[in-house]
Amino acid sequence: MMFKYLLSAFLVPLACSEQSLAAGKSAPLVVAHRGASHAAPENTLAAFKLAWEEGADAIEGDFFLTKDQKIVCTHDRTTQRLNKEKLKLDVAKSTLGELRALDVGSWKNEKWKGERMPTLAEVMETVPDGKKIYIEVKCGAEIVPFLKTAIEASGLEPAQIVIISFQKAVILNAKISMPNLKACWLCSFKREKKTGEMKPTEAEVMKSLNTVRADGLSCGDHSSLTAGFLRRVRAAGYETHCWTVDNPKRAKELVELGMHSITTNRPAVIREGLAPAEGP
């Protein structure tokens, strides 16, 4: 009797895990990278709203803490690349007011003139029921207390929010402060010229995921993403996610590898490319 109980206790979660993986393989989340950023200026409300119109399951945005401790949505450490005025302001050393004075839409097209850097609160307000937001922290762990306050005030359900970052300290502090939220560690792979070895190694990736208490691994689309590697990551209890994929054919290949989500600049294109073929 005890043997049957133990066997059941082992098989039930295993079956659930396999079912979850099968579900992820057939229908990964389509995540809009900085919004629908192929068509609209990245990290603006226009891009996020367009992403929802294009059928995204989730949006992904980049966030910094400003000098006056506000959370603003922008990717770079300085403003030079994306503002029409070409002013080079250091985001972390600028106030929200100084940053909001900049036009971050016209660089893409004049029809986006007047788009401003949104706050995290404004971006979260666009998230419909049942949809998700991936919050990529671009600064350090000092943002976490302010992040927690903003998330609690947003009215979004915990299941709608995922914290992501390359910085291990951010993921660890986020999991300690907000254990009810998922957090995924972002990782880029590089091949060493002398040895040909991929860095970080699989062992290093596993150690990092465990150390920071991550719920998943999010990787740049790279040849290192083999079926075996990803399968072992999932077998260890972690989700697998991939960015940035704009080619439908490649997106389908990643679905076959069991990705839980695919981040793209072109959510409508990837959504259509992953749609099941209609019968005769």
Q: What is the pLDDT of residues 186-245, one digit of tens each?
A: 999 988 888 888 899 999 999 999 999 999 999 998 777 889 999 999 999 999 999 999
The answer to the question of residue 83 being in a domain is no
Domain-embedded: residue 153: yes
Q: H or E segment at 31?
A: strand 29-33
Q: Which has the closest alpha carbon to 95: 124, 120, 66?
A: 66
Q: What is the pLDDT of residue 193?
A: 84
Residues 14-37 have a mean pLDDT of 66
152 part of a folded domain? yes
Give dist(CA 96, CA 69) in Å, integer. 8
In this prediction, residues 104-110 reach a mean pLDDT of: 96
% of the chain surpassing 70 pLDDT: 89
pLDDT digits (tens, 9 = 90+) for 28-87: 999 999 999 999 999 999 999 999 999 999 999 999 999 999 999 999 999 999 998 889
Phi first, then psi: give them for residue 183, nearest 5 degrees: -140, 130
CATH, residue 50: 3.20.20.190
Give the pLDDT score at 24.
Answer: 39
Tally the domains of the chain. Answer: 1
Estimate to the nearest angstrom the gap between the alpha carbon of 60 and the chain centroid.
5
Q: Is residue 154 part of a domain?
A: yes
Percent of the chain past pLDDT 90, that is, above it, reads 82
Contact 175/213 with Cβ under 8 angstroms?
A: yes
3-state SS, residue 267: helix
Structure confidence at residue 16 as a pLDDT band (50, 70, 90): very low
Calculate mean pLDDT across residues 251-261.
95
Burial class (CB in 10 A: 0-12, 13-18, 19+), 32: buried
Question: How many Cβ atoms from other residues are within 10 Å of residue 161's Cβ?
Answer: 22
User: How many C-beta neighbours within 10 Å does residue 261 have?
Assistant: 25
Kindly state whether residue 40 falls inside one of the protein's structural domains: yes
Task: Tell whether 39 is covered by a domain.
Answer: yes
Listed range (11-15, 143-147, 257-261) with the worst mean pLDDT = 11-15
pLDDT at 26: 55
48: nearest Cα among 134, 150, 142: 134
Residue 12 has pLDDT above 50, yes or no: no
Q: Which domain holds residue 215?
A: 23-77+123-274
17 against 247, higher pLDDT? 247
Residue 94 lies in a domain: no
- 253 lies in a domain? yes
